[in-house]
Amino acid sequence: MDEERTEGTQPEKIALPRSIHLVPLDRVDGFDIRPGFYEINGATAIPGGVNFTVHSHGATGVELLLFHRKEEEPFAVIPFPEHYRIGNVYSMIVFKLNIEEFEYAYRVDGPYDPDKGLLFDRRRYLLDPYARAVTGQSRWGERAPHGQHYRARVVKDDFDWGSMPQPLIPMEDLIIYELHVRGFTRHSSSGVAHPGTFAGLKEKLPYLLELGVNAIELMPIFEFDEMQDYREVDGEKLYNYWGYSTVSFFAPNTSYSASVEYNREGNELKELIRACKQCGIEVYLDVVFNHTAEGDERGPFFSFKGFDNNIYYLLTPEGKYYNFSGCGNTLNCNHPIVHQMILDCLRYWVTAYRVDGFRFDLASILGRNEDGTPMADPPLLQALAFDPILGDVKLIAEAWDAGGLYQVGSFPSWNRWAEWNGRYRDDLRRYLKGDAGIAQGAVQRIAGSLDLYEASRRKNASVNFITCHDGFTLWDLFCYNEKHNLRNGWNNTDGANDNNSWNCGVEGESRDPAVNELRRRMVRNAFALLMCSRGIPMFLAGDEFCNTQMGNNNAYCQDNLTSWLDWSLLERNRDMFEFFRYMIALRKENRLLRANLSAGACGFPDVSFHGVTPGHIGPFAAHEHYVGVMFAGWEREKGPQLIYVASNAWWEELEITLPALPAPMSWTIMADTWTAEQHPRPHGGGALRIHGRSVMVLSAR
């Protein structure tokens, strides 16, 4: 949208808070200045000028640098006068600045003592930790000009959200679709006008509505540098494609915008989010507060290291970086300064961008103390759980970290935090491929991980998933026994080795019709169980049409056909898409699959487990591969209802006995993964034959 220029007005007309005294203006480097708004971090446009506020505990002086766009040297250097400092906060209003015509950075002076974690260096240009828009590397795959650094632009937050309400979808009703903004539409087959951008994703909303998902989880969209660790391997350009290496927590990634020059306000992302909400789709951001792109001692130096290295990062007694993230450094999340920045950041994304939820990468780090030890009641996690502005947003934790802390089922929650259920992924994968001794784990996961979560958490705790960005796609899960990551350039040493996958007898792509039909059935089995499990289902974009990464289970650097969704597969595998759509609709139509409706119905408890005969007593034995999970409940409008999920991971057909129903109830087969085409059909009850390696879903009312 067109923007009005901010013209200078007379300083005496500015409404100042009582805490700012009306003192005479100072004049520095040709600009009129006066003390600013100390409680407003970052750079904020106000009538007549811009308010700049930064803080540093250890600094002895701070300078504001102003740049003409695309110029390497500042046109003005304005030191914060000493009497503009209150406590550790430096705040200054600079008058008669046009926010469209300049960029800014800081220089910070202070002691340099690496053994104490102090790295102040007044020669460095530093990016504002609260920058709302970042320049310096804006077009995907283009290196910044020689000598250029990260700088910030001032954001004028004037986007009109109108009277649009938040969807506020209950947790148990969510169907989450994880996607990468660039990879979702970058392939030429996507058919969008703006491939690889927020605008391109917006063009695909009719598709998402047709599929039936009601929440999208965007892999990192905070400003990051895809050129970090750029290299070429066998002629292929490799980037920091996934984006799990944050440069600025408050700014959207500029290179995801179709109109880079006009994205200062993040309007393209805001328009995407508004369109999603109009369609009833919630938007979640995958956020990375466990580390930054500055890395360790060998990493770049562009922001946090220069403001307060010993506060922003977890440091050893020798001043080195703890590395619980696996990426060189670890944010000191429970230090009050970092704690406040993270809280401010999430509040900003909720108020300025109307984001509906957040998935926290390696969230266990957020619960570590300054010495790296886990905390019983981490103040940051508690603050996020009870913050009023965040009161309606979803908080989802990846409940582990790279330092060995694994908290699935025990992540501090205050009944507000959900968790990526890694146990669900691992147990279902092992069960589906026919491992022995895993049936008991499978029924627990399908039933809502009753062994992991207390009753008060079961409706909103477990995010169930079988695939995500990290690992095999669902198609590859049944095409490869081993990872094939040679193209990443690490001699196939990167990526997980414990994939719990099964290639159905042939490694990689096959022309054998029997192998391919088995693989397709295994994909249907996995998705059917996911949609029929209590908890919150999430799946990876492209799984619904058998997208492949050719066996790469760690495609973090692959900005190419390996990671881009190939939309031509949608027509080739239209039957798979229709199956996914059918199962999503089946879940939506049967609340009994999503939540406990009552204490049970028809003499059956809310959840019961069954073997080849009804009423399985005790844990499942190691040799058992068939499991039945039945949900029973009562709704006022529908009366008593039962849903029986029958899963045969054995390779041969079995005959099972269904639980006996009271008259006049009868069983209806709602889904059968033996075939792709689905339609309900009545079943007389009693004996039921279920094919090898297949899943059936039956209902009774």
**pLDDT tens, residue by residue, 393-435:** 999 999 999 999 999 999 999 999 999 999 999 999 999 999 9
Q: Which of 365, 454, 469, 468 is nearest to 413 (CA)?
A: 454
The pairing of strands 236-238 and 42-46 is unpaired
- Work out the end-to-end distance of the chain between its first and last CA atoms, rounded to an integer number of angstroms: 54
> Residue 485 region, left (φ>0) first, then alpha (ψ -120 to 50), else beta?
alpha
Tens digits of residue pLDDT in 250-277:
999 999 999 876 556 799 999 999 999 9
Q: How far apart are CA 83 and CA 26, in angstroms?
A: 11
> Residue 266 region, left (φ>0) first, then alpha (ψ -120 to 50), else beta?
left
| pLDDT attached to residue 405 | 95
| pLDDT attached to residue 686 | 83
Instruction: Evaluate the omega torsion of the peptide bond into residue 664 and state whether it is cis, within 30 degrees of 0.
Output: yes
Beta strands in 522-606 (DSSP E): 536-540, 600-601, 604-605
Q: Supply the residues annotated as catalytic.
A: 361, 398
| pLDDT attached to residue 456 | 82
| For range 451-473, the mean pLDDT | 93
Lowest-confidence segment of 68-82, 183-197, 527-541, 548-562 by average pLDDT: 68-82
| pLDDT attached to residue 457 | 87
Secondary structure element (H or E) that encloses residue 278, with its range: helix 267-278
| pLDDT attached to residue 145 | 63
Q: Decide: 374 and 324 in contact? Cβ < 8 Å.
A: no
Q: Which of 106, 195, 116 is nearest to 152 (CA)?
A: 106
Helix%, strand%, coil% for the chain, nearest 5? 25, 25, 50
Q: How far apart are CA 507 and CA 492, in angstroms?
A: 16
| pLDDT attached to residue 23 | 55
Exposure letters 32-46 (e unless 16+ CB within 10 A, then b): bbbbbbbeebbbbbb
Which fold is adopted by the domain 592-700? Immunoglobulin-like (2.60.40)
| pLDDT attached to residue 500 | 98
Q: Is pLDDT above 60 for 287? A: yes
Q: Is pLDDT above 90 for 532? A: yes
State the chain's mean pLDDT as an integer: 93
Secondary structure element (H or E) that encloses residue 415, with its range: none
List C-alpha distances in Å: 54 to 86, 121, 124, 331, 659: 11, 16, 16, 19, 67
Q: Is pLDDT above 60 for 105? A: yes
In the chain, residues under CATH classification 2.60.40.10 are: 11-152
Q: Which of 546, 587, 528, 566 is nearest to 213 (CA)?
A: 587
| pLDDT attached to residue 380 | 97
Helices (H) and strands (E) in the chain, counts: 13, 35
Q: pLDDT band for position 14 (50/70/90)?
A: very low
Alpha helices in 532-634, H assignment, sequence order: 568-572, 574-589
Q: How far apart are CA 643 and CA 470, in angstroms?
A: 32
SS3 437: coil
* DSSP-assigned states of every residue in 446-496: HTT-TTTS-GGGTTTSEEEES--SSS--HHHHTT-SS---GGGTSTT-SS-
| pLDDT attached to residue 5 | 36
Q: pLDDT band for position 148 (50/70/90)?
A: low
| pLDDT attached to residue 603 | 92
* CATH architecture type of domain 11-152: Sandwich (2.60)
In the chain, residues under CATH classification 2.60.40.1180 are: 592-700
Q: How far apart are CA 553 and CA 155, in angstroms?
A: 38
Say what percent of the chain tops pLDDT 70: 95
| pLDDT attached to residue 137 | 73
| For range 98-122, the mean pLDDT | 95
Q: Is pLDDT above 50 for 647? A: yes
**Bridge partners of residue 152, in order along the sequence:** 104, 134
Q: How far apart are CA 495 and CA 487, in angstroms?
A: 12
Q: Is pLDDT above 60 for 459? A: yes
